[in-house]
């Protein structure tokens, strides 16, 4: 009564990978393992590259330092973390951060014990004469205004004989003049001992930000000639 048998059907044959390589059936477990393996290699490669970039950045551009002591109060406090620009060490004059000026907070090897490093502020530049009279600073006979100082940490008001700053040297002082071991007592800092200029405080978070450089009433007559940091 009913004819369920279809007529005129053709046998298309079996599907072969030789007909089209794109339809080749792969072993999914093997492919998955290979994919994870190659992705892992790429991840390791990227991590190594990132580490290398950070190492180069730390060696040639900037590095963190820790402030120890109170000689830079009220600007810097014991235990704070700073970023130090190391371009000054390479004397890159064409870059604004590549040379030193008055008011820069610098990190340097302590001349009396080069295995220690200090952080202080540059006060006297090469060729200038620095004198301290009753706690006030005079550069070549002109009084230097220092708005960043706090009277609470500058009450002793001592006097020191004039000191000529030699070429390739700097006269440095702490902002806490009552409790700072600096150029008033042990002399000038050789240019080659200065390895960085502090520019940013990143710890503690509530005080994070760029450091105060200071605006002075004296013209800049001299330029640069061509890590833990104690604050004792």
If one counts the domains in the chain, the total is 2
DSSP string, 148-189: T--GGG--S---EEEEEPPTTEEEEE-S-GGG--SHHHH-PE
At residue 99, the pLDDT reads 79
| Cβ–Cβ under 8 Å, residues 88 and 100 | yes
Residue 163 class from Cβ within 10 Å (0-12 exposed, 13-18 middle, 19+ buried)?
middle
Which are the catalytic amino acids? 71, 120
Query: Which pTM was predicted?
Result: 0.71
205, 167: one domain: yes
Residue ranges for the chain with pLDDT beneath 50: 1-2, 4, 10, 17, 23, 221-228
Of 15, 35, 57, which residue sits at a domain end? 57
Residue of 230, 199, 183 whose CA lies nearest to 105: 199
pLDDT at 55: 56
CATH code at 133? 2.10.109.10
Q: Are 122 and 146 part of one and the same domain? A: yes
- Co-location of 154 and 50 in the same domain: no
Half-sphere CA count of 128, side-chain side, radius 13 A: 29
Q: Are residues 146 and 211 in the same domain?
A: yes
Look at residue 19 and tell me if it is in a domain.
no
Q: Would you state the structure tokens that stand for residue 6, as one six-digit string?
A: 């279809």
Q: What share of the chain is helix, strand, coil (3-state, %, to 5)?
A: 25, 30, 45
pLDDT at 144: 94
| Same domain assignment for residues 207 and 131 | yes
Pull the structure tokens for residue 215: 């605006």
Same domain, 30 and 88: no
Are residues 39 and 116 both part of a single domain?
no
Final residue in a domain of this structure, among 12, 35, 57? 57
Do 114 and 45 belong to one domain?
no
Domain that holds residue 30: 26-57
Within a domain: 7: no
Task: Decide if 16 is inside a domain.
Answer: no
pLDDT at 11: 52
Do the Cβ atoms of 189 and 111 come closer than 8 Å? yes
* pLDDT at position 114: 87
Any domain includes 160: yes
Could you tell me which of 163, 164, 184 has the C-alpha nearest to residue 173?
184
Shared domain for 147 and 187, answered yes or no, is: yes
**Domain boundary at 57, 80, 105, which?**
57
Residue 154 and residue 101 share a domain: yes
Q: What is the pLDDT of residue 186?
A: 96
pLDDT of residue 87: 77
DSSP state letter for 193? G
- Any domain includes 145: yes
CA-to-CA dists, residue 193 to 130, 160, 163, 166, 190, angstroms: 20, 24, 19, 14, 5
Residue 179 lies in a domain: yes
Can you read off the two tokens belonging to residue 143?
A: 């009084």
């Amino acid at each position: 009564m009913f004819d369920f048998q279809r007529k005129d059907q053709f046998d298309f044959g079996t599907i072969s990978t030789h007909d089209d390589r794109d339809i080749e059936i792969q072993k999914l477990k093997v492919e998955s393992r290979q994919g994870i393996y190659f992705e892992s290699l790429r991840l390791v490669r990227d991590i190594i590259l990132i580490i290398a970039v950070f190492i180069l950045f730390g060696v040639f551009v900037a590095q963190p330092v820790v402030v120890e002591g109170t000689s830079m109060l009220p600007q810097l406090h014991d235990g704070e973390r700073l970023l130090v620009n190391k371009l000054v060490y390479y004397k890159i004059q064409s870059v604004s951060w590549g040379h030193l000026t008055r008011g820069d907070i610098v990190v340097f090897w302590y001349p009396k014990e080069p295995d220690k490093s200090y952080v202080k502020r540059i006060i006297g530049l090469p060729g200038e004469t620095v004198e301290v009279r009753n706690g006030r600073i005079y550069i070549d006979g002109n009084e230097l205004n220092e708005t960043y100082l706090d009277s609470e940490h500058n009450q002793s008001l001592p006097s020191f004989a004039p000191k000529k700053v030699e070429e390739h040297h700097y006269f440095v002082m702490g902002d806490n003049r009552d409790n700072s071991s600096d150029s008033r007592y042990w002399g000038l800092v050789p240019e080659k001992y200065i390895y960085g200029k502090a520019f940013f405080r990143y710890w503690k978070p509530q005080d994070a930000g760029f450091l105060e450089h200071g605006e002075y009433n004296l013209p800049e007559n001299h330029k640069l000639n061509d890590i833990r940091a104690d604050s004792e």
